[in-house]
Amino acid sequence: SQQGEEDPQALSIQEGENATMNCSYKTSINNLQWYRQNSGRGLVHLILIRSNEREKHSGRLRVTLDTSKKSSSLLITASRAADTASYFCATANQAGTALIFGKGTTLSVSS
């Protein structure tokens, strides 16, 4: 079974708006990672947040982590058409040897 589940499954916004995607997971984690996938391409790592961190920023990306609620959110500010992609959260399996991905949020940004 998948460790992380993203919400919503799909999100459509206008350029300039903010996009927020949520991820819930089931077991304790060492860190949580967010990835992006453009259509027809592989996943690309965006940001890693450790379990002792509550918030992390990278450019227009802001990730929060609430370990008490077993949830994380990815905020993309001032979205652009080029942000159109699927976004996945990932956490380690029980053995800590591999990443397990959620089903992703498909973001569509229209200009």
**Of 107, 109, 88, nearest in space to 10 by CA:** 107
**x/- map, 13-52, another protein, by CB under 8 A:** -----------------xx-x-x----xxxxxx--x-x--
Strands (E), the chain: 4-7, 10-14, 19-25, 31-37, 43-50, 55-58, 61-66, 71-76, 85-92, 99-101, 105-110
State yes or no: residue 59 binds another protein (CB under 8 A).
no
Tell me how far, at minimum, the Cβ of 82 lies from another protein, in Å.
Answer: 18
For residue 7, list its beta bridge partners. Answer: 22
Tell me how far, at minimum, the Cβ of 36 lies from another protein, in Å.
Answer: 11
Tell me how far, at minimum, the Cβ of 76 lies from another protein, in Å.
Answer: 18
Tally of CB atoms within 10 A around 19: 20
Q: Which residues bind another protein (CB under 8 A)?
A: 2, 30-31, 33, 35, 40-45, 48, 50, 88, 90, 92-93, 95-104
